[in-house]
Chains A and B, each alone.
Chain A
Amino acid sequence: MLDIKNLHAGVEGREILRGITLRIEAGEVHAIMGPNGSGKSTLAQVLAGVDTYQVSGQVLYDGQDLLAMTPEERAVAGIFLAFQYPVEIPGVGNLYFLRTALNAVRKQRGLEELDAMDFLELAKERMALVEMDPSFMNRSVNVDFSGGEKKRNEIFQMAILEPRLAILDETDSGLDIDALRTVAAGVNALRSKDRALLVITHYQRLLDYIVPDRVHVMANGRIEQSGDKDLALQLEKHGYGSYEQAAMGPGAKT
């Protein structure tokens, strides 16, 4: 589904991704772990289409050249990013925003747009997945939401938009243990053989609940090691220190 080959990305001459190669198939869950500043979030943003990076390399999504697509084209094609820092949009109702998004996507896919009543039904059903209070429907997008509420809202949006490839960028950060369980349960409910997940996290904790098929360790803009879910447990025990040192070895930029 997603085939990343030798992906580089930088800002103002500073290289952040230094040759990422990664292949994700439909139905798989991949976790990317790594210390702060290793480039995890940059990878998520580049895949979603943030245009502030100079990018080279190749990314094929269902055989299409992903890097040539606009962010909204990627969304229509089924790519969803759960933001690490969800953005506030004052005065725009959460539900209104999401219906606009869903209908924009549906329209591009040649599907009929949902009217307000049908959408409300869908929203109620999906809100239950993340145990979100219905009062959030008419509040402005992310305005005065707590950190945990914002993250729930991201997963709620994912449940509505039903992406094929969902990238969760540190969705666990800022969540207490109960919220983490709820959000993870919501994510697990959305796992399917047609849908791939790329879970970016700093801590192993999330992976107790969202169990990955593959785990990749990222440091200094590269994937240093890949393995199965046990790799995450080792990391929990030993930390990222050895990877950072390895990456900082001879020839590495500081």
Chain B
Amino acid sequence: MSTDNARIRELSSQAYKYGFVSDLESDAAPRGLNEDVIRLISAKKNEPQWLLDWRLKAFRHWLTMREPSWQNVHYEPIDYQDIIYYSAPKPKTPGPKSLDEVDPQLREMFGKLGISLAEQERLTGVAVDAVVDSVSVATTFKHKLAEVGVIFCSFSEAVQNHPELVRKYLGSVVPYSDNFFATLNSAVFSDGSFCYVPKGVRCPMELSTYFRINAADTGQFERTLIVAEEGAYVSYLEGCTAPMRDNNQLHAAVVELVALDNAQIKYATVQNWYPGDAQGRGGIFNFVTKRGKCAGAHSKISWTQVETGSAITWKYPGVILQGDYSVGEFYSVALTANYQQADTGTKMIHIGRHTRSTILSKGISAGHGQNTYRGLVKIQKGATGARNHTQCDSLLLGSQCGAHTFPYVEVKNPSAQVEHEASTSKISDEQLFYCRQRGIREEDAVPMIVNGFCREVLKELPMEFAVEAQKLLGVSLEGCVG
């Protein structure tokens, strides 16, 4: 464990000390995508034949697909042949080159947030699986978890050490043919995290993955798979940061969760990928497919997300409520400032009887930001007694931004109860004046009011994440006030 920690610290402090683009010598695939690149990725990772076949099947299917255009976001077409699909840091890293590459503002921002790998790792009881570019560099606390039978490792390691589990569950929630970006991910995914909690085990600590996009022009294609066996419990935290780049970078991840009878999975994300600059240049394109399956009766899956980064966010973490009496939850804060665009929401698919879902979405738009909630609640024929409650609240700051809500409801069982509430509000002059009369400056009052608006969602986050998320909201709003 201590060597793993030392390794994380070494890599992370290097990254921050010498600028956000760490000069890790990359072991990269040639630019572009074809079957040879996929074979190369698979070979680099020493994968079994079945996995290569799965990748190739996905790739061939992807070639027949078209990029979706229904979402309420606008961007220049992505040249998929101009992306490097595999980049791994070499184990021995040479010295850094220069600080000048990095925008001091960005480093200042990360300083303000006080988040770094080293700090995350120091948080008591949090196990970190650090993903720098495409390869999981080190996994901490692995041994402690192993004592109770929890497997927590990089996806690549899981393929090597637990191929039967990976083979059983990979693609079982998000099939390789699911959608354009998930299919691309299935073909080229490089690494990610894997977690397996055996029957009856309550995972003794919060698990955390910390992603970073580091090398230039590297698409990042993570794949995360979490399985909770009967009666198991796990809480998983995912944090994302990325360095500043002038070119937009593609991030197309897939997360699959499987909860068997009476199992519970909580999955929390705080996403602050680089959002682009104040003029809307640069930033991450975040096209992510996240889905959980409540496969067993009385199982429960909760998604909590705080999305403040990325130039474009396209994600709909959903739950397939297959087991009777299973529960799906989605708590979301999405903030768009400057020229950021977000089209995000959830899908709750009720299949089992007496299944319940809760959706609570808080969208904040500032500057020229465009914020769209898009949600699907589907009650299948057999879902007797299913219930859903949806609440979508939007907060507008300024007059140039936009908030949009697209709720889709499909009900095929007459016993279902589906409720939808929506509101749109502004921070009022009265609220601001009240704060200022009490001595609180406007630039402090606005983040306070925004945090208040998000409180119901933030309280779903584990403590240390909630604190980070609050700071993040404040930082993201800087320059949008007044």
Checking A86, A91, A161 against B439 with a beta-carbon cut-off of 8 angstroms, the contacting residue is: A161
User: Chain B residue with minimal CB distance to A50?
Assistant: B433
Once the chains bind, are B434 and A157 in contact (CB under 8 Å)? no
Closest approach, in angstroms, between the C-beta of A139 and any C-beta of chain B?
A: 12
Once the chains bind, are A100 and B440 in contact (CB under 8 Å)? yes
Segment 45-76 of A: residues with Cβ below 8 Å from B = 48-50, 70-72, 74-76
B contacts with A, residue count (CB < 8 A): 22
Instruction: Give the CA-CA distance A102 to B442 in the complex, in Å.
Output: 15
Interfacial chain B residues near A101, Cβ < 8 Å: 435, 438-440
A contacts with B, residue count (CB < 8 A): 30
Interfacial chain A residues near B442, Cβ < 8 Å: 72
User: Chain B residue with minimal CB distance to A91?
Assistant: B452
Interfacial chain B residues near A81, Cβ < 8 Å: 437
Instruction: Give the CA-CA distance A87 to B436 in the complex, in Å.
Output: 12
Q: Per-position contact with A for B423-457: 1 when CB-CB < 8 Å, else 0? A: 00000101101111111111010001101111110
Once the chains bind, are A75 and B448 in contact (CB under 8 Å)? no
A185 at the interface (CB under 8 A from B): no
Q: Per-position contact with A for B140-169: 1 when CB-CB < 8 Å, else 0? A: 000000000000000000000000000000
User: Chain B residue with minimal CB distance to A75?
Assistant: B439
Segment 438-482 of B: residues with Cβ below 8 Å from A = 438-442, 444, 448-449, 451-456
Instruction: Give the CA-CA distance A147 to B455 in the complex, in Å.
Output: 25
Once the chains bind, are A104 and B434 in contact (CB under 8 Å)? no
Task: Check A71/B433 contact, CB under 8 A, given A91-B451, A104-B439.
Answer: yes
- Interface of B, secondary structure class, is helix
Closest approach, in angstroms, between the C-beta of B473 and any C-beta of chain A?
A: 12
Interfacial chain A residues near B451, Cβ < 8 Å: 91-92
Once the chains bind, are A100 and B444 in contact (CB under 8 Å)? yes
Once the chains bind, are A140 and B452 in contact (CB under 8 Å)? yes
Once the chains bind, are A71 and B452 in contact (CB under 8 Å)? no
Instruction: Give the CA-CA distance A81 to B430 in the complex, in Å.
Output: 13
Instruction: Give the CA-CA distance A73 to B441 in the complex, in Å.
Output: 9
Once the chains bind, are B452 and A72 in contact (CB under 8 Å)? no
Once the chains bind, are B448 and A72 in contact (CB under 8 Å)? no
A89 at the interface (CB under 8 A from B): yes
Segment 73-125 of A: residues with Cβ below 8 Å from B = 74-76, 80-81, 83, 86-92, 97-98, 100-102, 104-105, 108
Once the chains bind, are A72 and B455 in contact (CB under 8 Å)? no
Interfacial chain B residues near A97, Cβ < 8 Å: 435, 438, 448
Task: Check A104/B452 contact, CB under 8 A, given A70-B436, A71-B436.
Answer: no
User: Chain A residue with minimal CB distance to B430?
Assistant: A87
Once the chains bind, are B434 and A83 in contact (CB under 8 Å)? yes
Instruction: Give the CA-CA distance A83 to B435 in the complex, in Å.
Output: 12
Checking B430, B438, B448, B455 against A161 with a beta-carbon cut-off of 8 angstroms, the contacting residue is: B438
User: Chain A residue with minimal CB distance to B442?
Assistant: A72
Interfacial chain A residues near B439, Cβ < 8 Å: 72, 75-76, 101-102, 104-105, 108, 161
Interfacial chain B residues near A72, Cβ < 8 Å: 436-437, 439-442
Closest approach, in angstroms, between the C-beta of A167 and any C-beta of chain B?
A: 10
Once the chains bind, are B430 and A75 in contact (CB under 8 Å)? no
Once the chains bind, are B452 and A75 in contact (CB under 8 Å)? no
Task: Check A49/B448 contact, CB under 8 A, given A89-B431, A91-B454, A91-B456.
Answer: no
Residue of A88, A92, A140 contacting most chain B CB atoms (<10 Å): A92
Closest approach, in angstroms, between the C-beta of A109 and any C-beta of chain B?
A: 10
Instruction: Give the CA-CA distance A94 to B272 in the complex, in Å.
Output: 29
Closest approach, in angstroms, between the C-beta of B436 and any C-beta of chain A?
A: 4
Once the chains bind, are A89 and B441 in contact (CB under 8 Å)? no
Instruction: Give the CA-CA distance A89 to B436 in the complex, in Å.
Output: 13
Interfacial chain B residues near A104, Cβ < 8 Å: 438-441, 444
Once the chains bind, are A71 and B437 in contact (CB under 8 Å)? yes
Closest 5 CB pairs of A and B: A91-B452, A92-B452, A91-B455, A75-B439, A101-B438
- Chain B interface residues toward A at CB < 8 A: 428, 430-431, 433-442, 444, 448-449, 451-456
A-B contact pairs, 8 of them (CB 8 A): A71-B437, A89-B431, A89-B434, A91-B452, A92-B451, A97-B448, A101-B439, A157-B438
